[in-house]
Amino acid sequence: MIALVLVSHSPAIAEGVRDLVTQLAASNLLVVTAGGTDDGRLGTSADRVKRAITEAAEADGVVVIPDLGSAVLTVRSVLEEFPPGTAVLVDAPFLEGSVAAAVTASTGASADEVALAAREARHAAKF
Enzyme catalytic residues: 9
Instruction: List, as one string, the DSSP characters of 33-78.
Output: EEEB-TTSSSSB-HHHHHHHHHHHTTSSEEEEEE-STHHHHHHHHH
CA 43 vs CA 50, 101, 102: distances in Å: 15, 24, 24
CA-angle at 30, arms to 87 and 13, nearest 5°: 90
* CA 86 distance to own-chain centroid: 13
The amino acid occupying position 97 is G
